[in-house]
Structure 1
Amino acid sequence: MSERKISPVVKAVLEWGPVLVFFVVYMKFKDATVMFHGTEYHGFILATALFIPLLTVCTLILWKLTGRLAPMQIATLVLVVVFGGLSVWLNDPRFFKMKVTLIYLLFAGILGLGLMLGKPWLQLVLSDNLPMKPEGWTILTKRLALFFLGLAVLNEVIWRTQSEELWVNFKTFGLMILMFAFLMAQGGLLKRYALEEDETDEG
């Protein structure tokens, strides 16, 4: 099924809204505790408990509006539900923090496997919107796989060595900024390997 187009603003709200809500709730309740069934829950767990259903609802709405979900969106939702759920159930924020590492390791592994099989799967997902020669897709896929691997390592370093608040800021804004910077840095590659109009028409 082809993807139905929706407003970029609606898409951005559905994709980034849950992350921003997590940040706002955490900042508001980071020093608070809530007693539930004899157990104390801190602000991080409260924000996580809200983030899980909110992300689920937003992802389902996105699926309903567009008619499809990218494999990475599905994988992200599954890992959020599983590891976020473990954090809430066990009252341990480490699982939710490790989730970010696992997501990027998964992405890097999928892209790396595609390259080993001679199938840059990134091309299958984005080729309609970003016409590019096969060599360009191979290079971009390698770079993105290494980038995701770097993000996984960086996340591990930050959550294990820095404060919880710094990690929340990194997750909310740092990852977004790094992703934007990476994409901007690929401008030369995209231009060098872009298909000409006649090549696109032939494809």
Structure 2
Amino acid sequence: MTDPAAKSENEGPENNGRETQRAPERPGRKLLLDLGPLVVFFAANYMTGDFMMAVQLLVGATVIALAAGWVLERRVSMMALVGCVAVAFFGGLSVYFDNELFIKIKPTVLTCLLAAVIAGGRLMGMNPIGAIMGSQIRMTDEGWRALSWIWVAMFLTTALANEIAWRSLSTDDWVTFKVFGITTISLVFGAVSVPIMTKHQIED
């Protein structure tokens, strides 16, 4: 006769493994979590005309999206975490000082910082992009090198575009640029990255 206690001990690790197993990543849900806060920001500013209220909702929606990502996926990407911290920091400064400048320069500061980290890492023989993406994809070093410089170009392009936008556009028009312009830049460089990742991907 099998000892129930022994059976429980044998089943324990398997049960624990099932409980801690990560949920499969769903691209549609990830896209919603990534773009949801921007949609809230745009809609709030458009419907209320109150930019500071829209900033507060952006910060809240970003934190909620990050928490939801952890609950649903049991993982939080490094980029999502860094982005959330940046939104909370610069958004908080804008609300506290009642000054639009802080949230407007956030894309410039963040993308310049990311470009510097990636470029500096590559020049020192490291692979920051690989660390950011984790186990999502395996590529040759040549592929990581090419992808790294594409990301550097993307971040610097975003920084330059944002500097031009916030200095020359009205606040409402800058919000439109923030939501649609920066997203478009990311999509364009993402499309450029796909052939490189496909070419240099290491199959399991």
TM-score, length basis structure 2: 0.82
What is aligned with 1:169?
Answer: 176
CA RMSD of superposed structures (Å): 2.0
2:107 and 2:162 in contact (8 A); partners too:
yes
2:129 to 122, 125, 136: 122
What is aligned with 2:6?
Answer: none
1:80 and 1:96 in contact (8 A); partners too:
yes
1:147 to 146, 150, 154: 154
The 2-side partners of 1:29 and 1:85 are apart by 20
1:15 and 1:58 in contact (8 A); partners too:
yes
The 2-side partners of 1:22 and 1:102 are apart by 20
For structure 1, the residue ranges without an aligned partner over 5 or more in a row are: 31-42
Aligned length: 185
Change (3 A) 1:68 1:191: closer
Letter in 1 for 2:47: K
The 1-side partners of 2:158 and 2:165 are apart by 10
Residue deviations 1:80-128 (CA, integer Å, cap 9, x gap): 1111011111111111111111121122122112212212221234464
The 2-side partners of 1:96 and 1:60 are apart by 22
Q: Which moved more, 1:12-21 or 1:63-72?
A: 63-72
For structure 2, the residue ranges without an aligned partner over 5 or more in a row are: 1-19
1:22 and 1:51 in contact (8 A); partners too:
yes
Q: How is 1:1-203 mapped onto 2 (pairs within 5 angstroms)?
A: 4-30=23-49, 43-126=50-133, 128-195=135-202, 200-201=203-204
The 1-side partners of 2:41 and 2:70 are apart by 21
2:91 and 2:102 in contact (8 A); partners too:
yes
**Higher percent of residues as helix:** 2
2:143 and 2:196 in contact (8 A); partners too:
yes
TM-score, length basis structure 1: 0.82
Name the % identity: 28
2:78 and 2:132 in contact (8 A); partners too:
no
The 2-side partners of 1:67 and 1:55 are apart by 17
What is aligned with 1:33?
Answer: none
